[in-house]
Structure 1
Amino acid sequence: MTEMISVVGHAALDYLFEVERIASPNESYPILEYETLFGGGAANIAAAIATLGGNASLISAVGNDFEHSGFESHLENIGVDLSLLYHIEDKKCTRAFVYTDRQHNQSSYFYWGSSAKFPELEPPEVDFVHLATAEASFNARMSKKADFVCFDPGQDLVTYSKENLVTILDNTDILFANRHEIRRVSSMTHRSFEDLKNSIDTIIVTCDAGGSRIYHQGSHIHIPAVKVEAVDPTGAGDGYRAGFLVAFKKGFSLETCGKIGAVVASFVVERTGCQTNLPTWEIMQKRYEENFGQLP
């Protein structure tokens, strides 16, 4: 396998609004503040991998505004390989609009835009792929082409057919999911967690502040979360996956991979935005050793 980690899924522009109140139909309230940030699960993971010094290629469908939005130059400057992008000329980039009021209630809207073209696209041939949140049929076809497959169903799991989900799981080497997603995967496929552990080499279950658990060949390891002053939990899972995968490609033990993932996630939550506080390997290592001792 090459050192390249190909990441499949969304590259999205995130619009985050602070509002006085969440409006009901036919109501209007002031927007107090707003930010436009770079996001999308696949872009978040690819950006974090590249910032850590890993080799990341982004496989995504981007719109005709990808260049002038600044997204393209942002990823290029970090060092993400964009040679496998699909440029959809008649669509705008994928966007997420999130409105949060003073009581932290939220209302969200997602514009698929260029990502809506995924079902029509032919996946490329790659060695090592991470399937982030994306369109189900593309991920299923991608899982059959790659030599090594990591899968993160994420919030798009509700859009998967049983057939596509089973295809992906049958080709998955590493599964990342939270506890709710594991339950949904089991329900959708009629496979118990024991069945999943028996058929997938490594399963990582994230538990928010409870850290994560890594299940591998009959054993499991608990990885504690790294405690920091959290500002925004969005993107923590993407940071964890990026740290884990870079460490995995470097040949570290699964336990060390999980700890590195936890450290990277701790940086992400310290700032608003999934790509605004990504650490380099050296910065990550310093915090790792503060929390877990000498990096092996």
Structure 2
Amino acid sequence: MSTLIDGIKGNRFAVLGRAGMDMFADPVGVKSEDAELFRADLGGSSANICVGLVKLGSQASLITSVSDDAVGRFCTNRLKHYGVDTTYIKIVGGEYRVSLAVYESRIENFQNVIYRNGAVDFQVTEDDMDQVEFGAFSAVISAGTVFAAEPSRSATFKAIENARQAGLPIIFDIDYRPYSWPSPEVAAEVLSRAGEESDLIVGNDEEFGFMAGGIDKGFEKAKELAAKPGRMVIYKMGEKGAVTLVDGQEIHTGIYPVEAVKPNGAGDSFMAGLLASVAAGHSLKDSVMRGSACASIVVSQPGCAPAMPTTQTLNAFLASHPGPST
């Protein structure tokens, strides 16, 4: 466990996965099909995690590829705007495209239309990973989407191998998106393999259930993964909070109820809040709670990257909100 915690406390994260462009209907409450205005900002799970980390005082570098066009440059510019290191972002020409998400700030009948045709982030190669100086980082974070297609899948396993040789712990956000995968069977097999390679696994009850072959088996799957010495698993259950499985313990934590305007971005913010809080010296339980608070902050505001809280915003939220529900 010390390798994992020491790596997180090093506070220099290499993040594998995509950057995307988000377009969200404005104002809050309007449906996408009725909107006359959309706001644009950075999106994509791994890019969101990077922004969340940097806003909370960590260092984060995104390792991905973007398209050689205006949208690819938009994403790179927004990453730089938020302070994310872009050294390892490869620009790919041709017909590959950055992902686009079009959504709205509403909970009732929430719609998120995602364009992933010819996704450029799947074009990261093993050679690209061999160019990364993993020794410059203290931990590696991967979101599950990178495993959905080749050459990105092999490249990510290569990155994990290279990171291991550099002595870095692997942090894995399961982040299962069915639309990215050729079949559920392939996804379950590959995500399970990724889980076995990881030191910290974060996922929700549906994702662990999916890996186990049934939602009712999800918690047993999480416990099975957590049984490996030195590994930590965080099993999220939405409104029911989370269970952190570590060293044979089960640490139960609740959530901070808020008036949500959208459901997306919570998982990315949770991950950033958890890691940045451990790095800042908070206890594991408090760090999980701070991650939960970050998730609540993000769902209460439009957008994903722009909604990620700073340390000041997070501390103010905690000071003004009573203890979480359990």
**1:88 CA drift (Å):** 1.2
CA shift in 2, pair 1:66/1:255, >3 Å: farther
**1:78 CA drift (Å):** 1.8
Q: Distance in 2 between matches of 1:36 and 1:258?
A: 30
Identity of aligned residues (%): 23
Correspondence 1:240-279 to 2 at 5 A:
240-279=270-309
Aligned pair partner of 1:37 in 37, 41, 55: 41
* Contact 1:97–1:109, Cα closer than 8 Å, also in 2: yes
* Contact 1:231–1:272, Cα closer than 8 Å, also in 2: yes
1:150 aligns with 2:161: no
Partner of 2:145, secondary structure, is: coil
Aligned pair partner of 2:261 in 231, 237, 240: 231
CA shift in 2, pair 1:291/1:202, >3 Å: farther
* Contact 2:297–2:309, Cα closer than 8 Å, also in 1: yes
Instruction: Encode CA deviations 1:64-91: one digit per residue, 9 max, x unaligned.
Output: 1367753323221221111111211333
- The residue aligned with 1:170 is 196
- The residue aligned with 2:109 is 104
1:95 aligns with 2:100: yes
Structure number having the greater helix percentage: 2
Q: Distance in 2 between matches of 1:285 and 1:6?
A: 26
* Contact 2:107–2:261, Cα closer than 8 Å, also in 1: no
Instruction: Encode CA deviations 1:31-68: one digit per residue, 9 max, x unaligned.
Output: 55533332000010100110111111111211113677
Aligned Cα root-mean-square deviation (Å): 3.2
Q: Distance in 1 between matches of 2:25 and 2:126?
A: 33
* Contact 2:273–2:291, Cα closer than 8 Å, also in 1: yes
1:221 aligns with 2:226: no
- The residue aligned with 2:3 is none
* Contact 1:14–1:95, Cα closer than 8 Å, also in 2: yes
Partner of 1:234, secondary structure, is: coil
Q: Distance in 2 between matches of 1:101 and 1:218?
A: 40
Aligned pair partner of 1:280 in 285, 290, 310: 310
**1:198 CA drift (Å):** 0.8
Q: Distance in 2 between matches of 1:234 and 1:278?
A: 12
Correspondence 1:42-81 to 2 at 5 A:
42-65=46-69, 70-81=74-85
Structure 2: gaps spanning 5 or more residues: 1-6, 148-152
Instruction: Encode CA deviations 1:199-238: one digit per residue, 9 max, x unaligned.
Output: 2611111222222221111111122111222111210111
**Match of 2:209, as an amino acid?**
R
**1:288 CA drift (Å):** 2.3
CA shift in 2, pair 1:125/1:168, >3 Å: farther
Aligned pair partner of 2:207 in 181, 187, 196: 181
* Contact 1:95–1:113, Cα closer than 8 Å, also in 2: no
Q: Distance in 1 between matches of 2:34 and 2:71?
A: 31
- The residue aligned with 1:26 is none
Aligned pair partner of 2:14 in 3, 6, 30: 6
**1:30 CA drift (Å):** 6.1
Q: Distance in 2 between matches of 1:232 and 1:107?
A: 10
**1:153 CA drift (Å):** 1.6
* Contact 2:222–2:233, Cα closer than 8 Å, also in 1: no
Q: Give the TM-score normalised by structure 1.
A: 0.83
Q: Distance in 2 between matches of 1:140 and 1:168?
A: 8
Aligned residues: 287
* Contact 2:107–2:262, Cα closer than 8 Å, also in 1: no
- The residue aligned with 2:150 is none
Deviates more, 1:39-48 or 1:57-66: 57-66
